Chain A
Amino acid sequence: MRPLYWGNCKMNVLGIGIIFAGGRGIERYEDALKRGWQRPGEFDVPRIQKRLPVYAVAQETLADKLVLKKMRRADKLSKMAVLAASDALQDSGTESAGNRMGIILSTAFGAHQTTFDFLDTIIDYGETQVSPTIFSNSVHNAAVSYIASALDITGPTLTVTRFSFPFQSAFQLAQLWLLDGRCDSVLVGVADECGEVMRFIFDRKLSTAPDGKVRPFHFSPASPPVPGEGSVFFLVSGKSPEKAYCRIDDIAFNCGPGFKGASDIDLIDSDGTVDGTAYLKALSPTVPVAAYSPLFGSLMTGSAFNCAAGALMIKRQTHYASPVLENPHRINLLDITGPARIDLMRSIGYNCSAESAVICLRKSRL
């Protein structure tokens, strides 16, 4: 089947920054991949008189007196995004490239907690006494503004949002910016938070797994999800393959997972939030499958976290066992951690309408 739209992508991942419930930095993420599933924290949601598990980013993880020194008033979403973007740049070993570097942030819900904080000021103090600082920080693109200022990036900057495939869409746009020559490198990533109201909404709409465990391979009926939050950024460029984690070979939408040759490992975005029948139908019995949502939780931008795992696996030539191995449908799970020869991986996502997005990650070649 001819894809409805696709990108013949040739960009390299030069650096990764990540902040998630397990901590900050690609090394911490690698530790989490090796360690396997850990029970997430539980948090009181007083207004609904419930205690819920959430893969939340701890305030201590955001403690940084260097990168965040000029943004004390920024909210959690912005701080997560700035730290992840800064770490991706540092991880790449390159310097900020001023106006030749761009930023694209994709988010499903944006700074919703700050928006609710702003509504608090309207309700509590009246329309004429609201906080301009909170309002400014509630705007979706505040996080990117902080990133640009913190890293002195003056190229194109963009914040985008959608609920299906937010990361894949942004990743594809980064590729176009490189192809168009709008910049030489792009910090492209995701950020989403799970504040109090979102925890309530998540629990009401989807329920929350009481034991805090995401079971990505239950597929249908899906096992209850557990909300997550965090940020991942990738520094991508068409150049410098010698420093790369991997090359992004293709980003394709609505063409099913089988449009290209078989991969060594398939990563799936299954996280309990949508029925997974489409995954079950699409997976090949000969290709090992992994899903890392049990490490970072269920969130619409989770594909970026899976891609970070994929890029790391290709760079290290190591595969990491899926953190939760419950496998009622007996699919071919990646269930051991160890050295491997990995040339091609696919990151596969389906939405609730069984539309697909596939990112192909391939070992870089000089």
Chain B
Amino acid sequence: MKVSDRDAVKRIKNGEIDYFSIIVDEYTPQIYRYVKSRLFQKLDVDDLVQNTFVSFYKAIQRFDESKPVLPYLFQIAKNELKMYFRSHKDAVSLDESLESKSEMDDFYTEDYSSVLEKLSGEQQNILQLLQEGYSYEEIAKKCKRPINTVRTIIRRTRLQVKELYEKA
């Protein structure tokens, strides 16, 4: 007899943990595909899928069983991916950054300045603020523009810079 998600969640909440295997059997392939489409290392994919289900289990007492399970699982997987990417951000050690400083200086003096000249004043200004470490919100305040506009300008500027580099 097939047990619905709603019944399974109700029973899990009541302590019948066996029913969690129904949820795992049903949704692992979908969550796995979703995570795999964004990550390529199999071990990490497995870990993230596992974390997704364990997080769901930990939060199951707060979960409203009248709502579908899959979107909730996707949301958890999305958050897990966010955390994964945040923790795997490329970090440059201080020594390494000092060593490469001279190369970066050349880059800024030659190519970079010629690329910058081709951008509009506002784009140059925003790019400068970004380099100085301002957040999007702070840049929006400084430039007196809505934050979404700033986001759009930054996205377009990045594309433009990329294109200019490719041409160069």
Partners in one complex: no
Residues on A close to B: CB < 8 A? none
